[in-house]
Amino acid sequence: MIDVMKMAILKVAIYVLIVLLMLAAAFLGYFTLTDYRPGQQETLAEKSRPDVIDRDTVSFMTWNIGYGGLDAGMSFFYDGGSRVRPSAQQAKDNLDYIKRRLASEQETDIFLLQEVDVDAKRSYHTNQFRRLHEPLSAFHGYFALNYHVQFIPVPLRSPLGKVSSGLATYSAWLPGRVARWDYPGGYTWPKRLFMLERCFMVLRYPLQGGGQLVVINTHNSAYDQGKLKQQEMAFLKDFMIGEYEKGRHVIAGGDWNQYPPDIASRSNRPDDLDQTATSTIPADFMPDHWQWVYDPTVPTNRSLEAPYADSTSTALIDFFLVSPNVQPIEVKTRQLNFQNTDHHPVYGRFRLK
Q: Looking at the structure, do residues 71 and 145 belong to the same domain, yes or no?
A: yes
Map residue 128 onto helix, strand or coil.
helix
| pLDDT value of position 248 | 98
Q: Looking at the structure, do residues 105 and 247 belong to the same domain, yes or no?
A: yes
Q: Looking at the structure, do residues 88 and 27 belong to the same domain, yes or no?
A: no
Number of domains in the chain: 2
| Residue 322 near residue 291, CB atoms below 8 Å | yes
Q: What is the pLDDT of residues 231-256, one digit of tens each?
A: 999 999 999 999 999 999 999 999 99
Residue 274 neighbours by CB distance under 10 Å: 17
Give the domain extent around 20.
1-33
- Contacts of 189 by beta carbon, 8 Å cutoff, 6+ apart: 32
- CATH number of the domain bearing residue 229: 3.60.10.10
Q: Looking at the structure, do residues 101 and 174 belong to the same domain, yes or no?
A: yes
Residues of the chain with pLDDT under 70: 1-2, 4, 6, 16, 19-20, 23-35, 225-226, 265-272, 274-277
Q: Looking at the structure, do residues 22 and 46 belong to the same domain, yes or no?
A: no
| pLDDT value of position 36 | 73
Q: Looking at the structure, do residues 161 and 274 belong to the same domain, yes or no?
A: yes
Output phi, psi for 244, to 5 deg. Answer: -65, -40
What does the alpha-carbon distance between residue 217 and residue 203 come to, in Å, rounded to a whole number? 9
Pairing of strands 212-219, 249-255: parallel
Q: Looking at the structure, do residues 104 and 245 belong to the same domain, yes or no?
A: yes
